[in-house]
Amino acid sequence: MKYYIIAGEASGDLHGSNLIAALHEQDGEADIRCWGGDRMEAAGATLVKHYRDLAFMGFVEVIKHLGTIFRNIRFCKEDISSFQPDILVLIDYPGFNMRIAKWAKKQGIRVVYYISPQAWAWKEGRVKSIRRDVDKMLVILPFEQDFYRRWNYPVVYVGHPLVEVVRHEQQKPLKPLPADKPVIALLPGSRRQEIALKLPEMLKMVAHFPDHQFVVAQAPSIPDEVYREFIGNKNVWLAKGQTYELLRQAEAALVTSGTATLETALFGVPQVVCYKGNEISYQLAKRLIKVKYISLVNLIMDKLVVTELIQHELNERRLHEELGKLLFDKAHRQRLIEDYAQLWHLLGNIPASATAAKEIIAAAKK
């Protein structure tokens, strides 16, 4: 069968690649065309557009790039029409994907959404268009089932794909970093604009913790010079394509909000969650977003497990204070580790990629 998959971010590329591998395993004649990244292409899909050309973060940034976004939407519709897939699979990235879903439904193309838009955080009314335009929703967070049930929209919980990813990584032989000091991981994000806002704040910690080696997890699509501009002559390393190796060896981490917070928790690394955005975008988001937390760890656990430093709170004084607690307050570290164990339990043991592939194939055959 023919599958068209759209992911618009680095995390979508990761989960999309594992989904593509599972689709090929379950459907020996799978023909897959995608928007995503290097991982999805390596997994056996024909890559149409890379996510680095799609990732615009924040209200102001999206407005600045509206022309590009609309051109991408037009091209996407034309490419889907030409390919004529048996099913369209959308991975997160709601601003773009929900427009494609609405169009696809009118064309009679079946639509499966894998990794739900965060309608529970903001734009709750989006559920109405999801019910109208999406034939099957596959969710990866346990509380999403209850959320959609309140809207009388049945969804399928397939487990969280990061659980199987992290388990697989932990079984690999460890390649030790050549550091002679304990490692602190810096995960400033996968987009240039978020790196520019967060990495300079994170790097201020280098002077405060000279007995530790700071290592930046480099996004595959971002060149070295972008990071070097901020690092300057500081003794800070770059780890390209080694984020999981880095997390397996880190004593603590400063992590941008998003999927990386959950990855860090599943690897058992004490962390501080960092968020800083364009001031106008932040003020707009602050008024629209309904949830208590920005970290997936805290959202899933429904309590404050990891500290969140948001916007003006992301400063040198607060980072120094919170990172010091992670490194030197044994009771604080132990509480985090115990909460991380409970997080594993809540997410369960469902093989997410294989389960999602099975649901997608069934929907395509229907």
Q: pLDDT in tens for each of the 366 residues of the chain? A: 999 999 998 889 999 999 999 999 999 999 999 999 999 999 999 999 998 877 555 544 556 556 677 889 999 999 999 999 999 999 999 989 999 999 999 999 999 999 999 887 667 778 999 999 999 999 999 999 999 999 999 999 999 999 999 999 999 999 889 899 999 999 999 888 889 999 999 999 999 999 999 999 998 878 999 999 999 999 999 999 899 999 999 999 999 988 899 999 999 999 999 998 766 665 655 555 666 888 999 999 999 999 999 999 999 999 999 999 999 999 999 999 999 999 999 998 899 999 999 999 999 998
Q: Do the domains spanning 2-159+350-365 and 168-347 agree at the CATH topology level? A: yes
Q: Is 302 exposed, middle or buried (0-12, 13-18, 19+ CB in 10 A)?
A: exposed
Superfamily for 2-159+350-365? Answer: Glycogen Phosphorylase B; (3.40.50.2000)
Instruction: Using DSSP, state whether 298 is helix, strand or coil.
Output: helix
Q: Smallest Cα–Cα separation from 300: which of 156, 139, 95, 98? A: 139
H helix runs in 171-233, sequence order: 192-203, 224-231
Instruction: Using DSSP, state whether 165 is helix, strand or coil.
Output: helix
**Cα gap 145→150, rounded to integer Å:** 9
Enter the tokens of residue 56.
């615009």
What DSSP designation does 93 have? -
The CATH architecture that domain 168-347 belongs to is 3-Layer(aba) Sandwich (3.40)
Pairing of strands 156-157, 183-187: unpaired
Q: Is 69 exposed, middle or buried (0-12, 13-18, 19+ CB in 10 A)?
A: middle
CB 85 within 8 A of CB 74: no
- Going from N- to C-terminal start, the domains of the chain cover 2-159+350-365, 168-347
Give this prediction's pTM: 0.85
